Each structure stands twice: as C-alpha cells, then as structure tokens.
Amino acid sequence: MIEIESEEILAEKFKIIGGETLKGEVSIGGAKNAVLKLLAATILVKGSTKIYNVPHLTDVDIMLNVLSDLGAKCVYNKTEKSVVVDASDITSITAKYELVSKMRASFIILGALMSRCREAIVALPGGCAIGERRVDFHIKGLEALGAKIKIENGYVHAKASKLVGTDIYLDIPSVGATENLMLASVLAEGSTRIQNAAQEPEIIDLANFLNTLGADISGAGTSEIIINGVKVEDLHSVEYTTIPDRIEAGTFMAAVVATRGKAIIKNVYPAHLTFFNDKLIKMGASIKLVEPTTIEVSCKNRLNSINFVTQPYPGFPTDLQAIAMTLLTTANGVGIITESLYENRFMQVPDLRRMGADIHQDRNHAIIKGVKNLTGATVAASDLRAGAALVIAGLMANGETIVEKLHHIDRGYEEFEYKLSNLGAKIKRYNEENTGDGIISPAINIRGI
C-alpha cells in the first residue's frame, strides 16, 4: 500500500504570476469520473482487463489500492496511460475505511462486490466536503434486488443468496446510485429497470464497458436503463479506452477564456459540454469545431455576466460551477448562480473575495458583481473544483497568487501545472523546503501492485 497524503504532499503549493495570455495546444486526459467506475467494474470478470486513457491521479491510485486490497492484481503503466486488472481471485469482500474515506467514488465497489460475491462490507464514503451526498438510494435499490443490509460501525454490510432483477425508481437521478445498481444488476437473475436514472456521459461509458465485457445493458444516457442479467461465465477479458474528461476540458476552456487567450483543445467530446459551451459563447467566448474531437477556444474582450442553475446532465454541470463563478468575478454586469445540487459548493467564495471579488451569497444563490480585476493573494483549495477555480483566478489576477492544499487538485487534474505552463501560464509547484525556482512534479506514486 502507499501513502496518498504524506506531509510532503500536503505542504505543496502553486505559485502563480497572473496576467499571462494562454495560447497554444492542450490535450485532455481520460475522464476521472468514468475510469474510477470502470476500474470497479473489472472485478466482475474472472480474468484480466486492460483499460487505456487512464489519468495519473491520486483518485486512480486510491481505487487501485481498493482493488488490490480485495485481491485483484493491478498494474499501472504511466507511459501508455493504461491499467491492467486481473480479478481472477477476489480474496476479500471488505473495502476498508482508510481507503473509502479518502474518495467517495470508491463506494461504487459495493455494487460490483455484490454482483461478483453476493456479499460486501464497504465503509461509508468520504471525498470532497461539498455537501450531503446520501447513500440511501444505493441501499434501497440493493434491497429491492434482494440484498439484506445492515449499517453499523461506519460500514455497509450487504448480503444476498441471490439477486433478482426488478424495477427501481430513483427519487433523484443520482449518478453513484445509478452506477452501483447497474453493477449489481449485471449478474442478477432476470431483468432490472432503473427509472429516473442519471444520464451523464460517464454512465454511458460504464454501460459500454460492461457490454463489451459481455453484459446486456440498454438505455444508458436516457432516464430508463434496462439490465438483463447474464451469467458470470458470459463475461470475458477486454481492452477498452475511457472517454475524455469533460470537466478537465471545461476547466482549460475557462482558463483560456479567462486570460483572453486562444488555444486548441484536443481529445474532447464537444457534445458532452453543450450547455457549458452555450454559456461561454453567451459570455463572449468563441468556440470552433476543428475536428470531431478538437476545438479552438478564444476570447478577445471582457466577458459579459450570465445567470445559470446547476442541474443534472445535460444541464449545467455542478463540477464547473466554481470555475464559471471565477469567470464572472471580472465580467461586465451582475451574474447569478444557483447551486441546486450541493449545499456546500460555494466554498471558493471566501478565497475569491480575498482576491477582490464582489460576491454576495444567500444560501444556494451567489450574486457576482464584476470588478475590474482580481489581485493576487494566498488562498487554499477546499475541494477539487474549488481548487481549480482558484488556480484560474490566479491566472487572471494582478500579481502573485499562492494556492495551498494541492492534494485536492491532484485528485482530478493530471499534470495541471505542466499543461498550463505549456500554454504560457507562469505557475510553479513548490513546498516549504523548495522555493519553487522550477516546476516540481506532483508527488503522486501510482505504481504496479
């Protein structure tokens, strides 16, 4: 096992000198929120599975450690960005607190273990502190499939002699619940229908991956998903390539627009960002399709303010809300953001105010009056996306910005400072023992297990 958050990693900071216009090309990596679920799904197969386009992230490292702890053999190849998982032998049904507490997405292992082993003991999840994300939808769905569940001492203990397909209606289109129930239903008897299912591209990618393995799933990407159960011997080893990360793509698009730059962004699926792209264009950005997976993003003038409400896909993604707020801090006029999904997802507001932003918050509403410019300050990432938003604020600001608590950012952005530097940003990683005369690579240690 490896230590994810050592004192050295926790001490790392970004030093940013703002005011540079971003120009050039950047390539987007594999989707974090897709690949984590694909990795969990590999334990359904009594054999070896290879996944390509896997980003080099601490969250990936955590999931590999979860799988390794269950008995799977995992090898990450950094050069080709691939992972091989051999889940021929699962020797444990327990996903431990010290791993699951670090990353909420690892709770998805519950559905996969129930499908493969008919029993699972999984710690209640952790992750970014952006608000309540209940697991009762997961639990009720598994119970409907026939599982008996106890929650005690911080663990969910689920067990079933067999799982039987049924109709499941989700009160809200929860991504995690949809994915957990898809995984649990793959080897269930009969047919399962998930109604009011989440429709995110990552759901489609998981369904495509499972179907490639030999599952029988239809309707992914709509509000109704049907899973016809198969036998474990019907599943087989495959090679599969993860979709690009739409949130990373949106982040770099915003960074270019924020600095009034112009850049080519490769390995992106524009259709996954339709709502976000529309809002950027209304603010004054230009987005041109160069090739099916390549876009050109540019902005010449000061942006205009907009209003938006975060919604489940295909609406405005909550994961890009903090980043869009940063753009609004220096836009013409007044913009209003309504965060409809998580009650604590305005955690970037105090730090943006430290940089000179004029933001009034009223519960889940934020009113942003554009100022002439932001000024550099010392700020700290409170969660993954808030951290990225503060980096973009630093690129926009006059003077020097220090961004602390980079371990949050490293959960979801691969080689963030390298990619920004290649676009012309003045950004360096350093810690207290190193003053940061050069760019220091993230202290992430994904390795073969």
Catalytic residues: 128
Contact 274, 313 (CB under 8 A): no
Bridging pattern class, strands 167-169 and 191-195: parallel
> d(Cα 43, Cα 292) in Å, to the nearest integer?
33
| Selection from 322, 152, 314, 184 nearest residue 254 by Cα | 322
**Tokens 């096992």 appear where?**
1
Q: 3-state SS string over the chain?
A: CCCCCCHHHHCCEEEEECCCCCEEEEECCECHHHHHHHHHHHHHCCCEEEEECCCCCHHHHHHHHHHHHHCCEEEEECCCCEEEEECCCCCCCEECHHHHCCCHHHHHHHHHHHHHHCEEEEECCCCCCCCCCCCHHHHHHHHHCCCEEEEECCEEEEECCCCECCEEECCCCCHHHHHHHHHHHCCCECEEEEECCCCCHHHHHHHHHHHHHCCEEECECECEEEEECCCHHHCCCCEEECCECHHHHHHHHHHHHHCCCEEEEECCCHHHHHHHHHHHHHHCCEEEEEECCEEEEECCCCCECCEEEECCCCCECHHHHHHHHHHHCCCECEEEEECCCCCCCCCCHHHHHHCCCEEEEECCEEEEECCCCCECCEEECCCHHHHHHHHHHHHHCECEEEEECHHHHHCCCCCHHHHHHHCCCEEEEEECCECCCCCCCCCCCCCCC
